[in-house]
Amino acid sequence: MATGIVPNVDAVKGLKEALKEDKRVCTIYQYDEAPKVWEAAQQTSSGNALFTFPAGPLKCAGAPQKIMYLCEEHWRNRGVRNDIDVQYFTTLPAIFGVKKYAERLMAVCDGRDIGVNLQTTLTEVDSGASKAKFTDATGSEIEKPFDFLHVGLPHKAAPAVTASEVSDDSGFVDVHEGTLQHKRFPNVFGIGDCTTLPTSKTAAAVTAQSKVVKTSIREFIEGKPLSSVYNGYTSCPLVTGKDKLILAEFRYGAEPHETFFWDQGEESKLQYFMKKEVMPKLYWSLLLKGKWEGPGILRKLLNPLGKN
């Protein structure tokens, strides 16, 4: 099973209409909507710029922050940043799920005067009134006027998966965390965003999972015990500017699991170069052809002591 997940625009009241009708409301999470983000950023010169992170699963949990940092930098370079109040709203209790990177990202936000609102979930977009409505951890409703609104879209499992017997109550393919074998149907295996695996849904996670799935399926067919175990590895290259990046890598338990010997939690031009020039080649030339199984071998060579 490798069906991925799909956007759930209807999870936020008024969002579908706002995306269609309001040029100030945008998201990078849909192919036809992504170009609108840059257009909206260019047209914004003052007021309130809101960026949101949704409740529930989503593709690439770092993306709602990445676009915020790029927009903030753009406004700063245009000389209009002092006239724009940039605010980030996340349903999570921290800006990022791994403490090390959360601390670094909070420092980035503090240094760039970006407000961070934790445990605050977008529930409605009232485009006509130019207001975004949120619910906080206490259940209280909050209204925020906006002049620019980027929405990290909620996602859900594909309807065919949710309606099938392979899903659990959450609607996702119910697999073992280590072998990726289904918990009830031993001849079913899952990989990627469609699964219940408690790790971030990223392409990097798929690279590590692919090796385990290939080994598990082969051993299952041969009648052997399943020997390969997925450790929850995933990665989020957090772009914080046009030439800066924090390279978050972690595994189950929200433990950093970095490939290189330096501190990847520091903003770095080298890490940005790898994201821009190296990772696309890995994706198109190796991953899609089944030839890239993650940086495990590199990690043994470049960070054998497991620093950082």
Q: What do you get for the CA distance between the two ends of the chain, in Å? A: 34
Pure H helices in 131-189:
159-162
H-run or E-run covering 49: strand 47-53
- Of 26, 109, 194, 236, which one is the catalytic site residue? 236
Would you call 60 a catalytic residue per the annotation? Answer: yes
Q: Compute CA distances 223 → 177, 179, 228, 291, 304, whole Å.
A: 20, 15, 14, 25, 34
- Of 26, 60, 71, 194, which one is the catalytic site residue? 60
Would you say 228 and 215 are in contact if contact means Cβ atoms under 8 Å apart? yes
Residue 278 tokens, joined: 């190296």
**CA atoms of 282 and 288, how far apart (whole Å):** 9
Would you say 3 and 161 are in contact if contact means Cβ atoms under 8 Å apart? yes
Helix axes 34-43, 63-78, angle to 10 degrees: 30
Name the residue with tokens 């676009």: 67
**CA atoms of 134 and 143, how far apart (whole Å):** 6
Q: What share of the chain is helix, strand, coil (3-state, %, to 5)?
A: 35, 25, 40
Would you call 236 a catalytic residue per the annotation? Answer: yes
* 3-state SS class at 121: strand
Name the residue with tokens 């992170």: 53
Catalytic residues, by residue number, are: 60, 236
